[in-house]
Every structure is written in C-alpha cells, then in structure tokens.
Amino acid sequence: MAKRKTISAKARVALFQKHDGTCHLCGGKIHAGEAWEVEHVVPFAMGGADTEDNWRPAHTKCHKAKTVKDVADIAKAKRREARHIGAKVSKTPMPFGKGSKWKRKMDGSVVLREK
C-alpha cells in the first residue's frame, strides 16, 4: 500500500482558501482558530488518490464521525474481497451444498442425495 503524503502548511492554506473555509461534510463555516483536518473524499484505504483533487477541509468532529463509518466500510470491503478471491472460507457452509449427503427440493423438503 502506498504511503500517505505529508501536507505542507502552504498546501493546507491553499486548500482552505480554494473551498472558502467550508467543511465539505456538514457545509458549515470553519472559523479562524477552529480545528480542522484535511479529509479524503474517497478514503485512501478504499483506493482514493492522495492528491489535492481528493482532499477537502472538514471540521475535526465531522471528520472523526465520517472516519468511524469509513472504517466499517473498509473492513466490509476487505472481507468481501477475501471471499471473492477464495482466501476466506465460510465458517458455516451451506448444509445442503456440494459434498453433502442431503439435498433440498424446491418445495423445501430435505431428502437423502442419490449417488
């Protein structure tokens, strides 16, 4: 995974001015002296670019709330990818799948599979 860039003070000021000091998450104004962070619109861990095109200013509180949601989404995406490539095997396989001696009929009844 690529390493995140360090954003210089000059780049932070330019980003703040470009977006008129507005939090892109809540739409509220970021006042002088108020804490704010550079936020990735598309999370870096989800393949978002670490460039100015993907950066927006956000209140610290708003950014933390979004990050909590992003962490859950990232974990879900990683689990989905692991299942897709076959790296993770289900702990509770379908009881009537291939290899089982039982099969389920269309009416819902369960019968012994014929060999």
Where do the domains of the chain lie? 9-112
> Rounded CA gap, 82 and 70, in Å?
18
Residue 81 burial (10 A CB sphere; 0-12, 13-18, 19+)? exposed
The 10s digit of each residue's pLDDT in 29-85 is 999 889 999 999 998 888 888 888 999 999 999 999 999 999 999 899 888 888 888
Q: What is the pLDDT of residues 48-60, one digit of tens each?
A: 888 889 999 999 9
CATH of 9-112 given 1.10.30, 1.10.3470, 1.10.286, 1.10.10: 1.10.30
pTM of the model: 0.63
- Give the dihedral of Cα atoms 49, 52, 54, 56; nearest 10 deg: 150
CB 36 within 8 A of CB 57: yes
What whole-number distance in Å separates Cα of residue 30 and Cα of residue 23?
6
